[in-house]
Every structure is written in structure tokens, then in C-alpha cells.
Chain A
Amino acid sequence: MYRYDEYDRTFVAERVAQFRDQVRRRLAGELTEDEFRALRLMNGLYLQLHAYMLRVAIPYGTLSSRQLRMLAHIARRYDRGFGHFTTRQNIQYNWIKLDEAPDLLADLAAVEMHGLQTSGNCIRNVTADHWAGVAPDEIEDPRIWCEIIRQWSTLHPEFSFLPRKFKVAVTGAPNDRAAVKVHDIGIRMHRNEAGEVGFEIIVGGGLGRTPMIGKTIRPFLPKRHLLSYLEAILRVYNEFGRRDNLFKSRIKILVHEIGAAEMTRRVEEEWALIRGGALDLPIETIAAIAAQFTPPPYASQPEGVAEIDALRFGEPGFARWLKTNVAAHREPGYAIVTLSLKPEGGPPGDASAAQMDAVADLADRHSFGEIRVTHEQNLILPDVPRVALPALWRALTALNLATPNAGKVTDLICCPGLDYCSLANARSIPVSQRLTLRFNDLARVHDIGDLKIKMSGCINACGHHHVGHIGLLGVDKGGEEFYQITLGGSAESDASLGAILGPAVSSAAVVDAVETIVDTYLAERRTGERFLDTYRRVGAEPFKERLYAAA
């Protein structure tokens, strides 16, 4: 994985010193809250309902065990012993004191981490396929490009006061696990007819109150041009993006209003003037960054593992876990393991300091010291020898991190909601906890199969409800929490936006409603159909009928 050099280290240390001075000036009254707001946001510090929240960047979701131990330390030292992994592969701490924030950032800097560009109207922390580098279907490791983008976008002087926040995601595989079509810019690596690897550039996707699927403005961009092309897009957006209405300020609205063809024309016109210039990527630069993402020293592994076969028959829990939480690896004898942060009754995406420390140890023992964070709010050990799976499963079971539900009904993602967030209309964590309790029969969970539930506590859609197979959106109805249900969304290669099923349901009724929807699917499905397949085949009617018939 990428290690900082002297330049990166110096930069982050200078940034910490700068922020320490800004906090001092705020506490001394030299800065107004309004002026300070922009500065703290650029360091990932939000003022929430009860306290400051700090969002720490985990570039493209890759962590070393040393970094994860520091995140545990921060949870213990500056928070209440927990951290919350987010849908943008970051981690948030919800109980931070302003005067301690500079020390916290200094601790993070010691392990090459920071909160830069995790908020504010700038180019945010870049996200990637959480299976980057290990997925069997991958063309090239997308993190090389994320790292190049991370460096270029870091404190970019021209693009730090954009009309609105700006999110970029990169996938290096045909199966999109990075949701690139619902980002401001989505980058998909692929091969052209000549066999060269380059990028498809997708612009103007996004969720929020006006969800849109992104449009391809360039089917193939050679690698060396990536940064100049991004700079051209950002420059067009900075000039023409709407600034008169907060809710219309994302690039998706610009693309929608002027059309994809005009957007393409403007970007290409700007790019023609800067391509081949100072942002042209030299082969040595690409090679130097790529060298930081070379695979770990894999060893040859035995073909079959007798203990796995024995456990598979003896332990239904292990058999289920193997089926859902263990995925095929590109290297023979290795596996990708998902650590579920969605235990029965737990807040999705939360991890305790003790769990983080333990996962760091397990990563050292079984996965070359590397951990990934997924946008579905789970953790991953990317390089586990299959022979270690039984021991790992036992260890994870003891840590309550082995719930065999990856990709299933209880692997739901949700935003912090009204328990923490000052924007939310409704709570999301308690609803997700009730859902995991309702669907606590693992045999049933496995029978239901692949099903993504995504929940947001307000229209800003941090929980990606528009692209959930079942989406839940918290709304306020006369001071009461209600939930609007959408069906049929997807953030993957077959991206689609969910359609509203009918009137919102009350908090008391929402778990029953989800169960009714799941039961309707089970009654309607044909052999081999996932929830989404059945919905796409039969449409909303049967679901509507079952859910609203009684009303």
C-alpha cells in the first residue's frame, strides 16, 4: 500500500500546525464561527447535534494494521471508545472536543492520516473498489489512480471553494463495486479495441434530493491524461455550476440542465487547451505510484484444506460464513474475507476500540497487515490464506465480527441519522437495529439471498437509499418519524434508481413493511432470482398490493 515519503509527511505535519493555529484563533475569538466553519470543515471537523464530529480520511478504504491501531487509540482517547465507518470508506468520531482536535490530528499524522477534504465544498476523499488489487475480475488496481488523484486534489488552490462537494470514485473491474455511476465523477477502467487500458469518464451522477445516474462524457481516456481531464471538468464546474441554490449546486444539476452533449463539448474544449501540459502524467510517476501497490509476497498454498471441509459440515455457522463472507481471490489458495459490522441488534458500521485492535492483530497474522473499509460499512481482510480461515472464523466469532450476512438482508447500510446528525429528519440506527433483530434467523436470511437495504435519515441520502434494492428514507410528518420506501435501486454496473412504492409508513410499521416486502418477493420469485431480479420482472404492483391492501 502507499507509504508517505518525506514530502507527504512534511505536508501533513504543516497542515496540523496550521490547524492548531486556526483552533487557537477561534478559541481566542479572533475568528468568527462562520469564518472558522470553512476552516474546520476542510479538516473534517463538523459541529453536530451534541458535539464536534471528526471524519478521518481513509484514502480508497485501505488501512494498515498500524493505522487501525491508531484509530482504536483515538476512539479510546478522544471519543467514547467507538468509531463509525461510513459509506465513503471513512471513519467518524462523534464526541470530539474542539480544543483536543489538534492533538488528535497530530496523532493521526504520526500514522500518515488526516481529516483533509472529508468535508467542505472541495474534491473529497477518493473512493475505490474495496476489493482493489485482489478481485479476480480486476483489470488494474484502481488505487494507483486514486492515489494520483488524491495528491493532485490535496489543497488544490483553484478547486477548494467549488459550488458544492465533489466526489470521485474509481473502479478497475467490470463488476462495479465502487458505485461509480452515482458519483460526481465516476472512473471506470477498461480496455479499448487496441488492448490499451484507459478510463471511461462518467460525470454527473449522485444521490441526495435529486438522484441521477451519471453520463459518460468520454468513453476512453488514455492514462497519461487523467489529471488534465479532471482539471478540465472541475474548471467547467467551478465556472458554470449553480451557486444560487444549495440544492441545485452539484455537478449533476449542471449536466442535467445543459445536457450531456453540451457538458462534453465544454469539457473537451477546455481540455484541448491544457492537455499535454504540466498535468501530463509521466510514465515514471505512474510507475512510482504503481510500485507502492505491488501485491504482498504470496506463498504457495495447499489445494484443499481438510479442516474447512470438516467444519463446513459440522458447523452451520461456518458454512454460512464461508458462503457469504468469504470471496474468491485472484491468487490461488487465498480468500477475501468480509468482517461484518452488522451484528444482530448493533448500529451498522460501528466498531469498538477493542474490535479495531483485535482486527489489526488478525490482519498482521493472516492478511499481510492490511485492512479495507467498504462503502457498505464493513471491514475486509483482503489477503487471507484459505488454510487460516477456520482460525480466523473462530477469532472473528469471538469478536462478534463473523455474522454471516455480507450482501444479505441484514447487511444494511445506514447514515448516523437523528441520533447524531443535525440534518436528519428521522433516526436510522434504531430502525436498522430493529431490522437486524427481526431478521435474526440466519437460515431465513440465507434463503432470502442477496438483498441490499439502504437507509437515510434525510433527503441528503448519505445512506444511499435511492440505490438500495429496498430504500428507506426518513421523513418528518408533523413531528413524527416516517419512512418512505423505494424499491428497485442498484449502485452496481446495472445502476438504477429506486421508485417510491407508496405513502410513507410510520416508525412503528416500518419493520413490518420491510418484512411484507421480503415475503412478497419470496412468494413471487422464480428459481435463482435475486430480490432485484424479481422486482424488475414483476414490477411494483404485487408489493404495493400486499403492503397497502390492509390500509
Chain B
Amino acid sequence: MRDRRWFRRGSLLLGWAVVLAGGAAFAADTYPEGCVSCHTNRQGEADFRLSNLLSQIGHPSVKRVKMVPRDCTRCHSTDPADGEPVFSQIIHEIHFDVPKINLYVTRFGGDCRNCHEMNVEEGEAQVKDGAKNW
């Protein structure tokens, strides 16, 4: 009788532990540092670090960049009045153009919150930043 009671209590505790762990996993941010959390050099996969991808398209050296994407805006404008595509548009276009075959949409669900986070107190969406990983 006592064994059965302990089994029931144990099951209940285990159930709650699973629910709480699931909730924590749901709330966890898989890409807390935005660009550099996703653009990495994972073992067994292609080198997706931005330094590597940018060198492939002939982009000037990004050695001096420290925080990504903050420091990209040293050269890439954020002001639409400058008459050239602003930095956000470049990044959005790369990640969302031709959604049927765009890796960011097909594999990562095109989730805005991989790169942005919501400041709930201010009610403002912000861009995540991270130290360069190259």
C-alpha cells in the first residue's frame, strides 16, 4: 500500500518536472546572440560564419568588426534618406527573398525572433547583438 502511494507521488513529481522542463525549453532562446548564434562553424557542416560567407562574395575584410551586427552599420547605412538600401533591408532580403527555396525560411521557419528580441517593458523590438566568432 505504502509502495503504491510513493509510486503515485513519484509519478506526479516526475510529471511536473517534465512539464517545467518543457516550459523552460519553450521559453529558452536558441539564438541569444542573433547572427553569431546561428552563423557558426559546426562540426560536420559547412562553415557558416559570416567572415567566411562574406569573403566568398568578395566583401572587404571584416577583421575589425567586434560586435555583430552593431559594427556592420559603421559602413552600412541605417538611414533611408541616404538613398541606398539600409542595412536592415539587406539582411531581410537575404533571409526572406524567394521563400520557397530560402534556407532561412525553409529550415529555420523564417522566425523574426531568431535575430530580434522583444523588450516587453518598452514594447520595442530590438536587434540581438553578439561578439564576432572569427
Chains A and B come from one and the same complex:
no
